[in-house]
Amino acid sequence: MPRSAIAHGSILAVVLTFGSAASAQDSGAAAALFERGLADMQAGRFDAGCPKLAESYRLDLRPGVLFTLAECEAKWGRIASALAHYDDYLRLFEAMPPAQQAAQRERATVAKEKKAALKTRVPMLTLNLSASAPAGTIVKREGTVLGAPSLGTPVPVDPGKQRISTQTPDGAVKEQEISLEEGQAKTLDLELPTPAGPPASREPAPRVAPPEVAPTPPSPTGRRPWIYAAFGLGGAGVALGAVTGILAISQKGDIEDKCDGTICTEEGKKIADDAKTLGWVSTVAFGAGAAFAAAGLVLVITEPRTRARVSVGARSVGVAGEF
């Protein structure tokens, strides 16, 4: 096997390991969810099967699961979601090494055909927010916060009812609903909620002296996941840099055999390009690994380790400040 092909396969394997190491312990749960989701899908219970397949893919990013999820959503009528997942699958397919592409080629063909067929059926929704809306107004569609680029732009949505809410900085919320059919395009001008009024007057409650509370340091336990993640990503970055660096160096002999100075055969040029790519990946990975490791070290150094006490009347309650 040409060394360039080995290099491509090694890069993909290391990158996939780097991206999925954190979820490796969930692979068993992902497999069980996939089997149950597939059974529900084949039985026509798409409302039960599709969410299981989505959760399986979240736990273990496998291309076959993503393709099956797109198939389930297409049959369920969630054609915008299906179109997006077919597109994601095809991007993964293009990044696969030749051997893996050969195994997935039939799925890729189906995904391309389904993507082309769904494009004309997907509803498009444009949400317009008035220029008079106060800064900090939050717009949600089906519970998902929309960023500014999603407003005023037609975006694909699934057919059926879409729930839209607009929340101003004072906490007031206005909800709207719109229905779209397949292939339909609609525009919705978002209404601003009525400003929240002052609270109704009430009899003042008797004043009670507040308990004496000693200053409480922030709990360090909230930092632990970030510390572990930073050191984990740092180690993975260094590992990726080392592997790709070794692969780049190993191709030096092939380049010298197939190149005379700056003149190379076609195969020599391909090997040289691969070596440059590997060197670039190695440099970036080492830099990212060092940055994550440094961030983890800063979090460890700055982590509070004091112990505070809260006094309430004649009682005192200990608040631990250590993990």
Chain position carrying tokens 């198939």: 71
181 and 148 fall within a common domain: yes
Domain end among 189, 210, 229:
189
Q: What is the mean pLDDT of residues 80-103?
A: 94
In a domain, 208, yes or no: no
- Are residues 267 and 224 located together in one domain of the fold? yes
Query: What is the distance between the terminal CA atoms of the chain, rounded to a whole angstrom?
Result: 52
Q: What is the pLDDT of residues 283-306, one digit of tens each?
A: 876 777 678 777 767 766 776 664
Q: Does 317 map to a domain?
A: no
Crossing angle of helices 46-59 and 63-76, in 10° steps, is 160
Whether 72 contacts 37, CB under 8 Å: yes
Q: Is residue 214 part of a domain?
A: no
Q: Give yes or no: residues 79 and 11 share one domain.
A: yes
Among 95, 119, 143, identify where a domain stops.
Answer: 119
Q: How many domains does the chain have?
A: 3
Residues 39 and 91 in one domain: yes
Going by C-beta distance under 8 Å and a sequence separation of 6 or more, which residues neighbour residue 136?
A: 168, 169
Residues 108, 54 share a domain: yes
**Shared-domain flag, residues 90 and 110:** yes
Say whether both 176 and 265 belong to one domain.
no
Among 103, 119, 135, the domain-final residue is 119
Range of the domain at 282: 220-312
Q: Are 109 and 138 in a shared domain? A: no
Q: CA-to-CA distance for 251 and 258, rounded, in angstroms? A: 11
Strand order in the sheet with 144-145: 144-145, 138-141, 160-167, 173-180
State CA 168 to chain mean position distance.
Answer: 27
Strand partners, 189: 128
Name the residue among 216, 210, 219 with its Cα closest to residue 310: 216
| 3-state secondary structure at position 20 | helix
Q: How far apart are CA 107 and CA 85, in angstroms?
A: 13
My answer on whether 97 and 173 are in the same domain is no
Q: Is residue 158 part of a domain?
A: yes
With respect to residue 203, please indicate whether it lies within any of the assigned structural domains: no
Q: Name the E strands within the chain.
A: 124-128, 138-141, 144-145, 155-156, 160-167, 173-180, 185-189, 259-260, 263-264, 308-312, 315-319
User: Are 255 and 287 within one domain?
Assistant: yes
Question: Are residues 129 and 114 part of one domain?
Answer: no
* Residue 319 covered by a domain: no
pLDDT tens digits, one per residue of 220-261: 556 677 667 767 776 777 777 777 777 767 777 776 777 766
CATH number at residue 28: 1.25.40.10
For 6, 195, 262, 282, the CA distances from 249, given in Å and listed in that order, are 14, 65, 18, 11
- pLDDT tens digits for 21-46? 445 567 889 999 999 999 999 999 99
- In this structure, the answer to whether residues 233 and 176 fall within a common structural domain is no
In this model, does residue 219 exceed pLDDT 70? no
pLDDT in tens, 175-194: 999 999 988 899 999 999 98
CATH assignment of the domain containing 128? 2.60.40
Model confidence at 82, in pLDDT bands (50, 70, 90)? very high
Structure tokens given for 145: 């916060």
User: pTM for this structure?
Assistant: 0.50
Nearest Cα to 37, choosing from 4, 75, 9? 75
8 A C-beta contact, residue 251 and residue 278:
yes
Amino acid at 69: L
Q: Is residue 318 included in any domain, yes or no? A: no
* Cα 190 from Cα 176, distance rounded (Å): 8
Judge whether 320 lies within some domain. Answer: no
User: For position 276, what pLDDT does the model report?
Assistant: 76
Q: Rounded to 5 degrees, what angle do the CA atoms 64, 66, 70 make?
A: 115
